[in-house]
Structure 1
Amino acid sequence: MLATSFNKFIGLLLVTLSLSGCIRSPEWTLFYFADAADKTDHTLQHDVIKGYYDTLEQCQAKGSGLVRIQGVTLTEQVDFTCGQKCETLDNNQIDCQQLMSDKDFLKQL
């Protein structure tokens, strides 16, 4: 009887933990513009999202890695931006609480 109650408790605990991972939203969104059709248009759109990350450092590392892999030179043109706590508005525009461009990232180095 005790083993059955314990097994139910463990099962419920595992289900709760697995569901909590599914509803956790990422803190940072990577917007990557170097492979966009219009390289001068840096508006935040869904087609330039390249990933979601828990920390700014993870987002910037992925963005700079994509720049290096594609052999894109970092010029005055921004190639990626990390947005904090981004959400899609009713008009399908993306709004972020804070934006950090690759130029901001390079200043930190």
Structure 2
Amino acid sequence: MRLVLLGFLLSLLTACTQNPEWTLFYYPDEPQIPADAELGEHISGYYGTSEQCLLKGAGMVKLSDSGIGSYQCGHLCVAKEQNDLSCQTYLDSLIPTSD
């Protein structure tokens, strides 16, 4: 009985340790993502899916006092140097844009 309980508890712990892969960067009162922004200063959360991340960013803009803001989500971001990050890919919309 103890072995079954221990196995159950271990499975719960491993299920709760999944790392979020998406990082939300939010730029309040900026109509566009600033080209020279330091990503580390604009982290606003971590999410498991791109959809969760983008929806949170859109909600933050909508709920802001000015109604103006921009956001992007970075996939698999890692720290580089002081307050600097690098992400494999970036998204700023749920709908892909065509050029």
- For the aligned pair, the TM-score class normalised by the smaller chain equals 0.7 to 0.9
Tell me how far 1:12 sits from its aligned partner: 3.3
User: Which residue of 2 is the match for residue 95 of structure 1?
Assistant: 86
Tell me how far 1:10 sits from its aligned partner: 1.9
Runs of 4+ aligned residues of structure 1 deviating over 6 Å after TM superposition are none
TM-score, normalisation: structure 1: 0.68
User: Which residue of 2 is the match for residue 13 of structure 1?
Assistant: 8
Q: Is the 8 A contact 2:28 2:68 kept in 1?
A: no
Q: Distance in 2 between matches of 1:19 and 1:35?
A: 40
Unaligned runs of 5+ in 2: none
Unaligned runs of 5+ in 1: 1-5
Q: Distance in 2 between matches of 1:35 and 1:58?
A: 22
Q: Which has the larger radius of gyration?
A: 1
Q: Greater relative contact order (Cα 8 A, min sep 6): structure 1 or 2?
A: 2
Aligned residues: 92
Q: Distance in 2 between matches of 1:35 and 1:50?
A: 15
TM-score, normalisation: structure 2: 0.74
Q: CA-to-partner distance for each residue in 1:19-74, whole Å, 9 max, x for gaps?
A: 4423x2111000001169xx8442211x3111111111100100000000004236
- Compare the two structures and name the one with the higher strand fraction: 2
Percent sequence identity is 32
Q: Distance in 1 between matches of 2:38 and 2:53?
A: 18
- Compare the two structures and name the one with the higher helix fraction: 1
